[in-house]
A = this chain, B = another copy of it.
């Protein structure tokens, strides 16, 4: 059950597909030279595979445990997180002003993948902390930044996102938690929050909760939600920890997977701290703008959850490859041996492994390309370029989140399948990935929520302009593939061009029907996300094929490049080729959904 970080493929993606050299020329990103990035990735690979990965299975068995409001994490988690912070990994992508390393998101992305590949449950703690850091950076006061950020960036304190309440999940308009101003600049917070990842634990001295709540005279709905910072322990003027705040962990959930990560029910204002009734909170930014700030966190977290999918799928792939190499069963179908062989020799096992690998590589490429757009959106000197890149990044967030996580469930399931009966035995470890991955399509917005975002804000709002722009770029890649003229390039060109045409058609259908027939559009929203994600990911694989062919032409003999051509071809023939059918399901297949009476289910 070891984990080998796929640094070679990551460096290929960074350099050949995501434009590391251009990112390293952005103002503020000068440290991200190829040499440095290579060193950072290798150091991260060493840490995650040696320190974090060995805790994955033991963490699943032991799980996080709750007793009387106190949560104890599995053996080794506390020490590993301490080392994670001390080695600077929590601060990797955060500003050096507050103690971070200030590296671009493009570099942080493969590092996120590695810690998630090593241990999804562990990685959630830094993931949520990153989100809280980003929200404070964007909306916090200077005092809040100075109070919380250095400790969070160092990993001494962690952060959480407190959105969900029993009646308010996907629909945050229904948030009921209250925040009553005390006249001294502070608020008293009360209410119940659920599904709070690492809402309580023993891995850090303090926990910085970012909490959505309503002030007494706030308007109804999402326009009346404010964001508050509520530390588990109040922070004294000198930075030392003060009284225990009135936030209490009532229980943690018994879950299908990610069992080592505590999922807390938090009670605010039950008079269980040392501050009297009501947790003391501090407004972040302006009142009633909480949702806007929360989206900063959400977008960061959604991107990272997509990367979680890539990490766990990579790990499932690695374990399946090892088993397929070890397990001897049956003679080859082509009669090439007279005795049983390792099952990796059987065509169907190869097909399964190719399917896992091609999809993981495609998702990795898509996420890193999105990460590079994020960096250009933040650091480029030209405002129009920043704006354009921000639009690209925002378009890709639901794809990275939605597509990569749906993919991860399929890949983890295939991983179990490769193991046969052994896969169903928990001790083998393959089943853990299948259990763990299932949360990824749900939290930080289900796939349907990502699809709503894609259909509404990202496709319909600009009249399909972004899709048209991407499709024009895809058409250029198709032209390059046809110029290459190799058998594989030509095959991929045909699939990619068909997908491009289907993508355009479907986006047009969305734009045309959004107002007149929204039920038809939303009946196809998730298939449209799948279509868009497959096309964009397949496009990256096509670009990877071209880059690999160029390397081979330039004399490279490493089989990495010829393998990349094959995974690109596989993706085109077995994944990308479903896109025209998806268009058809969306454009001509909504009737059965819209006509079915709700009462008849």
Contacts and interface: CB of A to CB of B under 8 A. Distances in A.
Interface of A: 164, 167, 169-171, 173-174, 194-195, 253-257, 321, 324-325, 328-330, 333-335, 340, 342, 344-351, 353-354, 357-358, 409, 413, 416-417, 420-421, 423-427, 431, 434-435, 438-439, 441-443, 446-448, 451, 488, 491, 518-527, 559, 563, 566-567, 569-570, 573-574, 577-578, 580-581, 584-585, 588-598, 600-601
A443 B173 CA distance: 47
Contacts of A431: 256, 438
A441 B417 contact: yes
A195 B423 CA distance: 12
Contacts of A584: 573, 577
A108 B123 CA distance: 49
Contacts of A354: 592-593, 596
Contacts of A588: 491, 573
5 contacts: A334-B519, A347-B521, A417-B446, A420-B446, A491-B588
Contact of A592 (B329, B567, B578): B567
A192 to B, nearest CB: 14
B417 A439 contact: no
A579 to B, nearest CB: 9
Contacts of A334: 518-519
A253 B425 contact: yes
A580 B596 CA distance: 27
A256 B350 contact: no
A442 B426 contact: no
A588 B569 CA distance: 11
A443 B422 CA distance: 11
Contact of A522 (B171, B333, B441, B520): B333
A38 B12 CA distance: 64
Contact of A585 (B329, B353, B574): B574
B526 A348 contact: yes
A134 B294 CA distance: 62
Given A174-B340, A523-B348, A592-B569, A324 B601 contact: yes
A573 B256 CA distance: 33
A171 B343 CA distance: 11
A357 B348 CA distance: 29
B526 A424 contact: no
A442 B421 contact: yes
A127 B170 CA distance: 42
B344 A598 contact: yes
A353 B601 contact: yes
A213 B95 CA distance: 68
A348 B566 contact: no
A500 to B, nearest CB: 16
A594 B492 CA distance: 17
Contact of A519 (B347, B420, B591): B347
A424 B438 contact: yes
A431 to B, nearest CB: 4
A578 B519 CA distance: 23
A256 B521 CA distance: 38
Given A194-B421, A346-B522, A348-B523, 15 more contacts: A170-B329, A173-B330, A334-B518, A346-B448, A347-B590, A348-B448, A350-B593, A350-B601, A416-B442, A424-B439, A435-B435, A491-B591, A559-B597, A569-B591, A573-B592
Contacts of A566: 592, 595-596
A330 B589 contact: no
Contacts of A171: 329-330, 340
Given A334-B519, A518-B333, A442 B413 contact: no
B417 A447 contact: yes
A527 B351 CA distance: 10
Given A345-B598, A351-B523, A589-B577, A413 B426 contact: no
